Amino acid sequence: MSKAKIQDSKVNSGYIAITVSIILSVIVVAIAIAFGSSNLLTRSDFLDFNNKQLSFSIARSCLNYALLRLAENSNYVGNDILNISDQQCTISPIETSGSNKIIKVKAQISGATTNFRLTVNSSSLATVSLEELSTF
């Protein structure tokens, strides 16, 4: 073999090795980005889930507070803002519909909102219906 052909094959094998290493590096980086972004999305979903659970619990606490106030005083009209720890919920004005009272509460935690509408019997405060609504 001539000296020129040996040098050409060494140069070509060098380019092939560099090209293969660049392609493998790009593939490894792409896989790392894919796993990293899915991890971030999972954390975001988990945080949204926790915020929804917290808003749900705060809203239920508001309902219990409103029921307690109705039990203490049948003329309770609602229209309160209740602070629970460092969170807030809103009790809308209580509506009367026949022999029932309708209590609406809203809790919003970092974009997660829970709206409840509770209908109770005015005299016994027994639950007639409880609904979670998207809006009032």
Could you report the per-residue pLDDT of 26-85, keeping only the tens digit for each?
Answer: 999 988 887 776 666 666 778 889 999 999 999 999 999 999 999 999 899 999 999 988
Q: What's the whole-model pTM score?
A: 0.69
Length of the chain: 136
The pLDDT of residue 8 is 53
H and E: helices and strands count for the chain: 1, 6
Q: How many Cα atoms within 13 Å fall on the side-chain side of residue 7? A: 3
May I ask the CATH architecture of the domain 3-133? 2-Layer Sandwich (3.30)
Boundaries of every domain in the chain? 3-133
- The predicted-structure confidence for 73-132, as pLDDT tens digits, reads as follows 989 999 999 998 889 999 999 999 999 999 999 999 998 999 999 999 999 999 999 999
